[in-house]
Amino acid sequence: MFRRHNIAARIFDRQISTVAPGTSVHHTRRFYENLVPNCTIYEVECPDHLYRKITEDGQYLICFSRNHQDLIVYRPTWLSYSCKEECDTNDLPPKAKRFESFFSQLYCVSLASSNELICKDFFLYMESNQFGLFATSTTQNHDAPVGGAVQGVPSIEKITFHLLRLEDGVVLDQKCFHNDFINLAHNMGVFLYDDLLAIVSIRYQTIHILQIRDSGNLVDIRAIGTFCREDDELFLNSSTQSMLSHEKGKLHQLPENPVENGLHQSEPSSDYCFLSGIKQRLLSFIFRGIWNEEPDQALRVQSLKKKFYFHFQDYVDLVIWKVQFLDRHHLLIKFGSVDGGVSRNADQHPAFFAVYNMETTEIAAFYQNTADELYLLFEQFCDHFHATSRNSLYLNFISSHSNNMHAREQLRSAKNKASSSLQFVKKMLVSLPFSCQSQSPSPYFDQSLFRFDEKLISATDRHRQSTDHPIKFILRRPPNTLKFKIKTGPEAGSTDSRTKKISSFIFHPFLPLALSIQQNLSLQPSVVNIHFRK
Amino acid sequence: MTKPAAGSLAGMLTMTKPSAGSLASRSTWVSTTSVSSSGKRIQREMVELNLDPPPGCCAGPKGDNLYNWVATIIGPPGTPYQGGIYFLDITFPYDYPFQPPKVVFKTRIYHCNVDSAGNVSLEILKDSWSPALTITKVLQALQSIFTKPDPYNPLVPGIAHLYLQDEAKHAELAAEWTLRFAK
């Protein structure tokens, strides 16, 4: 069908025709083809902060100070200016070409105290309450107590989560973890779903489930790991105590009974000799699966021997790496070997995925990272893995291969090109569980609207290697023309081409406004460009 | 009868020799032939178990170490342990079958014959052990304590007391433990 690209003609079209039911938002989003951030202010003068992101509702620009001590919050505003003298309509007056014309500072608060620093890669936003979650931590601690901890996992003396009301920067609540390890880079170890927060302690193999109350309190709901239900430990202690009280009665009669004294002493260490709650669930799930699969007694024993007992210790040694919510009850948990959880190239290690229902404390499914079944679910229902909070408007439009035909085609061609399907499945499943709030909802990353080089830029919030060439955004539909370019760094290109530079992008969720930040690895201030529609 | 797989067994032996040596220095001297004979014996019992496994339980070596086994006992229906899956570590001594295997629960259980560290007290694993007994017999004996606890030789007197005085209450607690820790 021939469609006109002139914006006036489009508005006219919108007036006289109705679109197919259920597509009105998609149709309205096509106006973004006309409204693009095609104007760039190069090397804008701006405070030397670490720019983190613009919240999903476009209300706040989150920045941290260079010394990792303070949080600085700006309100993104639309550029407006007036000039007394004759105005050149083609160019902005120099006074308007400032950071402050686009962002007005709301406040600056100090988050880090004494020896703690803000983790610049960590920030979660709770849109419904406009709460922000930040983390500060001390440096790695090499002589941490070992009791109950997984060997080979680093320890951080203190990690503090801060819940802030972003409206005015008031700290509402804090939650500390001591001598623990939580992967804070790119929000990996923490997942927010509605008001529920899952924090993975890798060192103590515990998934802490917290609730963020409307009052601004962080409330512990349960800890999944050694135990499954929230009152398991209490139950165990109270029933062991009642057992002991019986024994104590006996003890008075026979004070020098050696067996019972021995029993008392073995009490504290008893936690470590049993399988942890989550492992018991996992192992019994695997066992049941193999048991029920084979009705013949003798064959069943053979198959259990080969598939279960032979690998038993490997299953016991599995470590929880990462967790995400699938809905309010189900968690997708990734298990792997100890070295895989901490090292960067985690895809080299075998990994497993479990779906765990934290209400019934049952494992619902268990897959290896080479499982075709899981891959097919991932291919067809990718959006179900992107569990976003219900009330989040823009996040529903993030392109994925299950809601976008262009992304799907790209995936298919990558799949066909892959030399081994096993390797391909493995590679794709590396992204599971998803990191929380790691994608920008900006319409300029909508793959049904624009085409761009995903190696240089994408909705995923990551640092990328910077090139001197501008990144082109090309219309997906005919006439497939170049609509705008995003160029990082100085306008003339950088003078020093030897040093490696990385860039990051902060897109506004719905306005044609973006920041590009180019840094080189030395400590020079970064080059910030503002991209907007004039 | 069936011959043990010579290759894998030889590999096993080279692996277990040093620890057999350390064991020997502590207690009695164990010749390599006796290690291999215990290995052969375990191998034979494994074949036996595979051919005719007792219902509701199963066991097998952990990895390729013939002396460390894992057993699984499914909580027998009609007992408070119904619905639970119990994992147990079974360690065979190098002078097996002249010494009984050591059995430890890896799953928490509310039982008067299992202490708070998972150690199980079973007559045939102590004084009544006989080299004529096999792993199949041990599994059957373990299974029987699920249906018939022995409150007169308890490891946890508190539980035994409750079992004798108020069996309904005992069953209720044991079922709660099953639900919480053995599912």
- What was the ipTM of the complex prediction? 0.81
pLDDT tens, residue by residue, B92-130: 998 888 999 999 999 999 999 998 889 998 888 988 899
Contacts of A291 in chain B (CB under 8 A): 58, 74
pTM beyond 0.95, yes or no: no
Would you give per-residue pLDDT tens digits along chain A (534 residues)? 456 778 888 888 888 888 888 888 888 888 999 999 989 999 998 898 999 999 988 999 999 999 999 999 999 988 877 776 666 666 777 777 889 889 999 999 999 887 899 999 999 999 888 999 999 999 887 777 777 788 888 899 999 999 999 999 999 999 999 999 999 989 999 999 989 999 999 999 999 999 999 999 999 999 999 899 888 888 888 877 766 655 444 444 433 333 333 333 333 444 458 999 999 999 999 999 999 988 888 888 888 888 899 999 999 999 999 999 999 999 999 998 877 655 555 556 788 999 999 999 999 999 988 888 999 998 888 888 887 655 566 777 888 888 888 888 988 898 899 888 888 888 888 888 988 988 898 999 999 999 999 888 988 888 888 888 899 999 998 888 999 999 988 888 766 667 788 899 999 999 999 999 998 776 678 889 999 988
Q: Give me the torsion for CA of A272, A276, A280, A281, rounded to 10°.
A: 180
Contacts of B104 in chain A (CB under 8 A): 273
Query: Cβ–Cβ of B62/A280 closer than 8 Å?
Result: no
Query: Cβ–Cβ of B182/A284 closer than 8 Å?
Result: yes
Element (H, E) at A233: helix A232-253
Neighbours of B22 (CB within 10 A): 8
Q: Which long-range contacts link A403-406 to residues 24+ away (Cβ below 8 Å)?
A: A404/A446, A404/A447, A404/A448, A405/A448, A406/A447, A406/A448, A406/A451, A406/A476
Query: Cβ–Cβ of B85/A266 closer than 8 Å?
Result: no
Q: Name which of B46, B82, B183 to mutate to probe chain A: the one with the most chain A Cβ atoms within 10 A of its Cβ.
A: B183
Contacts of A283 in chain B (CB under 8 A): 85, 87
Q: Where are the beta strands (DSSP E) in A101-155?
A: 103-110, 117-118, 124-126, 131-137
Side chain identity at residue A471, one-letter code: I
Q: For strands A103-110 and A117-118, give the pairing.
A: unpaired
Strand order of the β-sheet with A103-110 is A49-54, A61-65, A70-76, A103-110
With b meaning 16 or more CB within 10 Å and e meaning fewer, what string describes A247-278?
beeebeeeeeeeebeebeeeeeebbebbbbbb
Query: Cβ–Cβ of B60/A269 closer than 8 Å?
Result: no
The Cα A143–Cα A138 span in angstroms is 14
Contacts of A240 in chain B (CB under 8 A): 116
* Annotated domain spans of chain A: 318-436
Residue that the structure tokens 């005015």 belong to: A168
Contacts of B55 in chain A (CB under 8 A): 297
Shortest distance, CA A277 to any CA of chain B (angstroms): 6
Shortest distance, CA B130 to any CA of chain A (angstroms): 25
Which domains are seen in chain B, by residue range? 29-181 (3.10.110.10)
Query: Cβ–Cβ of B157/A277 closer than 8 Å?
Result: no
